[in-house]
Structure 1
Amino acid sequence: MLSPHSVFETLESEVRSYCRNWPTVFDRARGSRMYDEDGHEFLDFFAGAGSLNYGHNNPVLKRALIDYLERDGVTHGLDMSTTAKRGFLEAFQNLVLRPRDLPYKVMFPGPTGTNAVESALKLARKVKGREAIVSFTNAFHGMSLGSLAVTGNAFKRAGAGVPLVHGTPMPFDNYFDGQVPDFLWFERLLEDQGSGLNQPAAVIVETVQGEGGINVARPEWLRALADLCARRDMLLIVDDIQMGCGRTGAFFSFEEAGIVPDIVTVSKSISGYGLPMSLCLFRPELDIWEPGEHNGTFRGNNPAFVTATAALEAYWADGSAMEKQTRARGEQIERALVSVTEENLADVKEYRGRGLVWGIEFKDKARAARVSRRAFELGLLVETSGPESEVVKLLPALTITPDELDEGLRTLARAVAETA
């Protein structure tokens, strides 16, 4: 008989990761708090890697889901028409797309973020008849082969086991610390017939690189990128999988820059409840798919449609209220990080973020992991990010209260102080 702890080490693959950083067995969760089977409480600044923007077991969403299941609502329907899907599409159009004057068609490519990215890349290549895709340094777009080809992290790319082709990285915003004009290298390669860069079908970008280390693109940089894509006949894909659904303030992270991407990928918190769901959004004229040309068994997750609809109706019927709250919480985090930096001037390299995604980078790259471990011991869940895990990443739920946020930030400050 295996013990409650050893069962994971004995039966589960060595590929597991988060459980190594947080070595306990979680049992239940509500709002911004998780509890292990021994009753220990943890404040969650991780939020399911951004899949739980409205907290764990949000009561409004849970009620909608329970009611749907109790009436024997369809749970699996591939891409068949269902009342749950119709309810989501109507809510998404009325509460998200129409108020922002976004004309997008909606595609359900499969249940995960990398499914959305794969469909976006495939569609861009189909529309333009070209293979090359441009991505950016420190990008992360998923773990399947097409997504890995446009991902920067060397460790993740190495896991593919095969050549990752048809993707070309370019410098992300401020990659050269402001010493090189934006897109100088990119433009030169496009102009030079001897550069070796095939004309790209599309450019894929994150407005804030989450896994890459909380690298925030300036609005003017994003506008210049959109202009470059328009001038050079390349589609612009914004990967909003982690930064969408209100994480940076507005529902879509690109709204602040005033751009309208050709294609947008959405996942993580679109279901609102942590249920697998993803979207690929694109301009209507790009919808040249043949029926069934891109499909998947679990692309019609009806329980996720139900919770997604409930989330939109509860939090985005008045989108400005959620946006203002998120920005206020973000300012609260920034004030705390200013204090942490001032108290650790010799150790902190930089803090950065937008809305409710923030990172604090240390000069000693191993420090972030020590801070994360100490925070866990103190009852706070924070992960690390960046190519060498050198950044402590803060990703609390959008519904976190000011008091909970303050509690977690005090714990973080203590963890930093105690790992000096």
Structure 2
Amino acid sequence: MVFDRARGSRMFDRDGRAYLDFFAGASALNYGHNHPALKRALLSYLEQDGVAHSLDMLTVAKEDFLTEFAARVLGPRGLDYRVQFPGPTGTNSVEAALKLARKVTGRQTIVAFTGAFHGMSLGSLAVTGNAAKRAGAGIPLGHTLRIPYDGFSGGQVSGLKLLDSMLADSSSGVDLPAAVIVETVQGEGGVNPAGAIWLADLAELCSRRDILLIIDDIQMGCGRTGPFFSFEAAGITPDIVCLSKSISGYGLPMSLTLFRTELDVWQPGEHNGTFRGNNPAFVTAAAALREFWADSTLEKQTEERSVLFEERLGELADRHAEHVAASRGRGLVWGLDFREPHLARRVADAAFARGLLVETSGSCDEVVKLMPSLTSTDEELAEGLGILRDSVASAVGG
């Protein structure tokens, strides 16, 4: 399939057929395709010969973004973070976070979780759980301690108790780590939400043991779960936060690494890269903050729609309980977990044939993953859920 154009919640192939997009660029398009307010800001900037590439130089576009980010995101949440532009993609943000944590603490080990996905470069792969993705590294991936995520093995194993016990025992063979890196909702891992209490317990453990807490909010940030940051519901303040995907608002490459001011131990030029100064992305990012984060309207709407998805997908899972093990999610990221992994792919194919774009995730691609844009209309969400319902019925019926 060759796609030609896109607007809002729909993509169009070159023959003009429309597809409802419940993939949203893997959450890089939280505000839909070519949102008019963002497009106007970008076109105006380009028409005025605005600076497109600037490395670390200060530009009007960068200054505007930082001003809006402080006023609409950091300030209202009482977050005293330095803002670093580590490179164009999410894995660049994770690499910067890991590097900074090791530099600050002087320690090497990073604690990561089962089911985690943090990127495709070597440092990010080392803290990623998926065996197939890790195998692509071609070399051993070390300096990582892997522990169970919330709910792993049916919740029978407590990763936090295990970690705390091993750190308390000088004979455990486990050295004090530099940091813990975690997703509040594992997206690529199969849409696995961590509980607010579990996250709060993790933050308390890190604080008590003098371990830095890194939240990877690359896929779940920028409103995907409701609040701007996905960790807000747990009432925690991470030491370091990784952002990318929808931070530019328009699908343009951009990422940030946020960290507490006292952790800013970088020397000039110590962590750099050519494409940190993506000014068109700064322009659309600032426009997105003005358009969607001036108040709590979008956040409240996403939380209301979360209830709708929970109800509809719960009904769908109950109707096909023989084939669907569970439905789970938060905000506007949801998954249907199939007992037989091949059924998830069959559902995705059936949905595509009916004009709905979805993806699969999980250890065996057993989860049909839904991530519509946050700006989808109620009618579009109902349409997509209807197509999904018919696709599941078709797939499990053979």
Same fold, judged at TM 0.5 (above): yes
Quote how far apart the aligned CAs of 1:193 are: 2.2
- 2:192 alignment partner in structure 1: 215
Partner of residue 101 from structure 1, selected from 69, 78, 97: 78
Partner of residue 184 from structure 1, selected from 161, 164, 168: 161
Q: How does 1:330-345 map to 2 (within 5 A)?
A: 330-345=306-321
Q: How does 1:342-361 map to 2 (within 5 A)?
A: 342-361=318-337
Amino acid at match of 1:132: T
Structure 2 Cα separation of the partners of residues 337 and 181 of structure 1: 28
Amino acid at match of 2:196: P
Partner of residue 267 from structure 2, selected from 284, 290, 295: 290
The reply on whether 1:68 has 2:42 as its aligned counterpart is: no
Quote how far apart the aligned CAs of 1:184 are: 1.9
Structure 2 Cα separation of the partners of residues 177 and 256 of structure 1: 23
Deviations 1:55-110 (A, max 9, x none): 00001000000000000000000110000000000000000000000000000000
Structure 2 Cα separation of the partners of residues 195 and 139 of structure 1: 24
The reply on whether 1:57 has 2:8 as its aligned counterpart is: no
Q: How does 1:255-274 map to 2 (within 5 A)?
A: 255-274=232-251
The answer to whether the Cα contact below 8 Å between 2:191 and 2:369 also exists between their aligned partners in 1 is yes
Partner of residue 247 from structure 1, selected from 224, 242, 255: 224
- 1:16 alignment partner in structure 2: none
Amino acid at match of 2:131: A
Structure 2 Cα separation of the partners of residues 158 and 176 of structure 1: 23
* Cα RMSD after superposing both structures: 0.8
TM-score (norm 2): 0.98
- 2:370 alignment partner in structure 1: 394
Indicate the larger mover: 173-182 or 59-68: 173-182
The reply on whether 1:193 has 2:170 as its aligned counterpart is: yes
- 2:125 alignment partner in structure 1: 148
* Aligned partner of residue 375 in structure 1, secondary structure: helix
- 1:378 alignment partner in structure 2: 354
Structure 2 Cα separation of the partners of residues 46 and 174 of structure 1: 25
Quote how far apart the aligned CAs of 1:188 are: 1.8
- 2:391 alignment partner in structure 1: 415
* Aligned partner of residue 398 in structure 1, secondary structure: coil
* Aligned partner of residue 313 in structure 2, secondary structure: helix
Deviations 1:136-184 (A, max 9, x none): 0000000000000000000000000001011111100011323344512
The number of residues matched between the two structures is: 396
- 1:364 alignment partner in structure 2: 340
The answer to whether the Cα contact below 8 Å between 1:138 and 1:209 also exists between their aligned partners in 2 is yes
Structure 2 Cα separation of the partners of residues 157 and 343 of structure 1: 36
Structure 1 Cα separation of the partners of residues 13 and 181 of structure 2: 39
* Aligned partner of residue 298 in structure 1, secondary structure: helix
The answer to whether the Cα contact below 8 Å between 2:239 and 2:259 also exists between their aligned partners in 1 is yes
Structure 2 Cα separation of the partners of residues 165 and 345 of structure 1: 40
Partner of residue 182 from structure 2, selected from 191, 205, 225: 205
The answer to whether the Cα contact below 8 Å between 2:148 and 2:157 also exists between their aligned partners in 1 is no
Partner of residue 305 from structure 2, selected from 329, 339, 347: 329
Structure 1 Cα separation of the partners of residues 38 and 291 of structure 2: 9
Deviations 1:25-52 (A, max 9, x none): 0000000000001111100000000000
Quote how far apart the aligned CAs of 1:365 are: 1.4
- 2:142 alignment partner in structure 1: 165
Q: How does 1:21-40 map to 2 (within 5 A)?
A: 24-40=1-17
The answer to whether the Cα contact below 8 Å between 1:264 and 1:280 also exists between their aligned partners in 2 is yes
The answer to whether the Cα contact below 8 Å between 1:46 and 1:382 also exists between their aligned partners in 2 is yes
The answer to whether the Cα contact below 8 Å between 1:376 and 1:382 also exists between their aligned partners in 2 is yes
* Aligned partner of residue 276 in structure 2, secondary structure: coil
Structure 1 Cα separation of the partners of residues 92 and 377 of structure 2: 33
The answer to whether the Cα contact below 8 Å between 1:87 and 1:309 also exists between their aligned partners in 2 is yes
Structure 2 Cα separation of the partners of residues 356 and 53 of structure 1: 10
Structure 2 Cα separation of the partners of residues 175 and 181 of structure 1: 8
The answer to whether the Cα contact below 8 Å between 2:28 and 2:219 also exists between their aligned partners in 1 is yes
Structure 1 Cα separation of the partners of residues 183 and 159 of structure 2: 16
Quote how far apart the aligned CAs of 1:345 are: 1.7
Extract unaligned runs of 5+ from structure 2: none
The answer to whether the Cα contact below 8 Å between 1:212 and 1:387 also exists between their aligned partners in 2 is yes
- 2:276 alignment partner in structure 1: 299
The answer to whether the Cα contact below 8 Å between 1:50 and 1:395 also exists between their aligned partners in 2 is yes
Structure 2 Cα separation of the partners of residues 97 and 397 of structure 1: 23
Deviations 1:352-389 (A, max 9, x none): 00000000101111110110011000100000000110
- 1:11 alignment partner in structure 2: none
Structure 2 Cα separation of the partners of residues 391 and 180 of structure 1: 22
Structure 2 Cα separation of the partners of residues 181 and 243 of structure 1: 24
- 1:6 alignment partner in structure 2: none
Structure 2 Cα separation of the partners of residues 204 and 308 of structure 1: 25
The answer to whether the Cα contact below 8 Å between 1:45 and 1:380 also exists between their aligned partners in 2 is yes
Deviations 1:254-293 (A, max 9, x none): 0000000000000000000000000000000000000000
The answer to whether the Cα contact below 8 Å between 1:182 and 1:221 also exists between their aligned partners in 2 is no
Amino acid at match of 1:277: M
Amino acid at match of 1:317: A
Structure 1 Cα separation of the partners of residues 395 and 174 of structure 2: 46
Amino acid at match of 1:368: A
Identical columns (%)? 65
- 1:119 alignment partner in structure 2: 96
* Aligned partner of residue 35 in structure 1, secondary structure: strand
